[in-house]
Structure 1
Amino acid sequence: MLALAAWGAMHGVQPDAFARAFASADWSWVLASALLYAVSQLASAFVWRCGLTACGFGALSRRHVVNAHMIGHGAGELLPAQLGQVVRYAAIRRHPVAAEGCGLRVAGSVGAHKALDGVATFIVVAVAALVIPLPSAVEGLRWVMGAVLAGLLMAFVVAWRSDGERLLARVPARLQPLVQGLAHGGAIFASRRHALAAVGFQLVAVGARVLSLAALLHAFGLPAGAALLVFALMVLSGVLAITPGGVGIREAAIVPALVATYGLGTDVTLAFSLGIQATALAASLVCAAAALLSQQLWPPTAAPAAPG
């Protein structure tokens, strides 16, 4: 079904017009979009550091956490599914503090970061979709967002009223160490101070990502006001991101919606959608390369022990 949707999005695209859409792009705005994308990833790295600090890895340097995040994110742009998270885990474990600590806690922090990132981002998008006026072509998106937001609220209430110890007691004894280790990695959800800081950084990440999309829309001569709609469609299509960078799935979601809503040409809209992937890939690979160079020039070391 996704293949048919992608084919429908590409139907009628003229190669010459498609090439002209790329050639006529304002590359200064493309560069601005890439820089804003890098800012959003930097803020996302700080979200993860809040979680690592909450679960006992406060001794990890800010630079190493940012480097590990950038390396993992760069790998995620090239690898399918969520394999970039495996690379991120391996990169953070190169630090002596993380290597000597519990690997399950580190893995739990990665999962907690993804959960906080996804939930906070979706809530922002859902609230925006419920408040701002949407074009008639995507009016149904408001009901989808509202339904999922209500489901998240119910899940939060259930989780809040649940007794963690009783739930753990129901886990088979041989699996309890595994579950406990992963749960300790999600300690950010039990720390109000770290959770609020993480939410703040996540809002910066979302804001920078929306501004990045607005800059890229402007670069292709499209209405920058469509940035929030594009971001919402990207969040929804990202649930099915089984391809590297979500390519193909994202186009199937964005192109028909923009064409129907704003009456745009399919060629320039598809060029913009592929430009999202190209900009994210370029920015991610540059940041990952810089992170790898930083790791080589300044290898992670443990802080010296305090004199006793």
Structure 2
Amino acid sequence: MMSPTNTKRLAKQQRTLVTPEGISVPIRLASRGSRLGALIIDYIILTAIPILLLLIMAFMVGGFAEELASIEDENTQGAFEFLVVVLILVYFFTRYGYFMVLELGPRGATWGKRMVGIRVAARAGGRLTPEAVIARNLIRDMELFLPLAFIQGASVGDSGNFGLAGLIWFAIFMLFPFLNKDKLRAGDVIAGTWVVEAPRTKLAETLSTSGAAATSGSSDVTGARYNFGETELSVYGEHELQVLERVLREDKDEALEPVHAAICRKIGWDPGAGDERAFLEAFYAQLRAKLEGDMRFGKRKADKHS
């Protein structure tokens, strides 16, 4: 039995995400603790990558480095400088590419976020855009790294009052998620994103082996058979499939009914009410099969606009 305190806390985290199709999808905001945990994990990974790269380079160069070091000429110095430049470039692209590539992926989450079960979502309900992901991650430098650099400089006596300014700057940005009800950091405000819970479930077992999806479109409730043609399935793409996936996982009537109505309007069906889950399971299974089949032939449909 959940305590009244926990019930009230969870209710405060509940939000409704309205997709571009007008479908209301219930979601739950990620806690501040889980976001902090994900950030720590991500930066442990980002710290480990250059160290691992350094070890690999040292192993590959091996005795050759000692031989080069014994030859004092400009070519030797240039070779080492080149390796340093390569390492710096790799770290730069890893640091920024890590967040951007993973958050633009289908899961909308870095490895750290996946481990704690959260993801990034667009507050407008559509797909995460490259512009939004770039904005929220570039702002992180202003929120975290620049003030920390000032503080570090002040600790060794190089920056004077910059250290105090950096500390105030750092405190303001770190307190930002506590000053708004959606727990948004400055990067989320600018990018139009929020971070939500993404429970880790096994989609294949959960959806594809139960109900209508497991019986070739036949409803266990009414016996109706739902088979969709190429025209109906061509309406939607991978983004809409992901939205439907989340709705089926939640299994809430208040979300199933509007999604069912929106799809029926879009594809021109009128199957009536009362069998929404069976209809959506069948549509999901057949849409996924079509998209996967198209991908094997090199065709991808990102969303309904593609």
| TM exceeding 0.5 | no
The structure where helix makes up a greater share of residues is 1
> Which structure: larger Rg?
2
Higher relative contact order (CA 8 A, sep 6+): 1
State TM-score, norm by structure 2: 0.28
